[in-house]
Amino acid sequence: MSNLHRASGRTRLGLVLSLVTALCWATLPVALKVTLQALDPLTLTWFRFLVAAVLTMGWLALRGKLGGLRGLGGRGMGLLALAAAMLVGNYVFYLLGVGRTSPGNAQLLIQLAPLLMAVGGIVVFGERFRAAQWLGMALLVAGLGLFFRDQLAHVDTTPGHGGTRAYLTGSLLVVLGAVVWAVYALAQKQLLVKLGSMQILAAIYVVATLLLWPFAHPTQLLRLDGAQWGLLAFCALNTVVAYGAFAEALAHWEASRVSAVLAVTPLLCLAVVAIVHGLWPSMLAPEPMSAIGWIGAALVVAGSTAVSLLGRRRAT
């Protein structure tokens, strides 16, 4: 097991970087939901990867750290290709899902991704949970179920949503996005053995941009107004900041602990939805929630807190 990646042990830095990632991901689905009114999903995803690739490659060039891929070998290159394909799948599935469901529901369902990453961290990297932390996991899953049930009960009476069938289809797409994201995250964590986190991301961004290029429609960008360009720029920069912080968090903290912090993202997203709807009611539909929905959200937070704080895990 000595060839597997181990966290640096800089716990505070890992926590801060995880929180930055959570804040970025909490605001992203709202911006994506609005931007999809002007761009198709593949063009939007391609542009996000393009901006991320240019900025990340430029940053690495200034620091003289563009090299490193030659040392990966055949197995490493295959793992890098897998990570890139999975991240593209995550972006596309998630965006298609957001277009059919609500930002809050999409952000809550995508929490299956860090949950699956945590399980992968246990299976692949030998990280261990105590009994209390497994209870936290159970609370988190129960919270996800209660929140989704509450959202589904209100979908047909909420303005701006496409009905139960569209909502279920969107939810399924988000779940698929969560599955492929977990595979991407575990592949990236193992790649950290031979490459820096930003080098890995730069390579993934370039590959993803090239993969999506044939399916994108760049001429759509010419029709955007100032506000739409602002939202698009936010979506693109959000990609760089969020995944840069996430990659560094994995370098300094265990995958299971990072996933626990990211589980609070849905509550942050619900707050963003409420703020945006309050300021611009016509831009975004409200997130309908009854007592059951709030209980579910509270369970998600309680579960993530338990997983993160109830005891330190030992690595094998």
pLDDT for the residue numbered 315: 38
For residues 189-203, give the mean pLDDT: 80
Q: Of the given ranges (91-105, 177-191, 298-312), which has the lowest mean pLDDT?
A: 298-312
Structure tokens at 1: 């097991």
Q: What is the pLDDT of residues 294-305, one digit of tens each?
A: 888 888 777 766
Q: What is the pTM of this model?
A: 0.76
Measured CA angle at 41 (ends 215, 30), to 5 deg = 160
Predicted confidence band at 248 (pLDDT cuts at 50, 70, 90)? confident
The residue extents of the domains of the chain are 11-309
Distances (CA, A) of 285 to 33, 120, 269: 10, 36, 14
Mean pLDDT (whole number) for 278-284? 76
Distance CA(162)–CA(147), nearest Å, equals 19
Q: Give the residue, 156 or 228, on which the prediction is more confident.
A: 228
Per-residue pLDDT band for 173 (boundaries 50, 70, 90) equals very high
Q: Which of 80, 249, 234, 100 is nearest to 163 (CA)?
A: 100
Confidence at 1, pLDDT banded by 50, 70, 90:
very low
The answer to whether residue 280 scores a pLDDT higher than 80 is no
Question: Which of 129, 138, 160, 132 has its CA nearest to residue 257?
Answer: 129
Position 218 scores a pLDDT of: 92
pLDDT, average across residues 182-206:
83
* Degrees to nearest 5, angle at CA 206 with 202 and 207: 115
**Average pLDDT over all residues of the chain:** 80
Query: What is the tens place of the pLDDT at every residue in 43-63?
Result: 999 999 999 999 988 988 888
Measured distance CA(4)–CA(20) in Å, rounded:
26
pLDDT of residue 313: 44
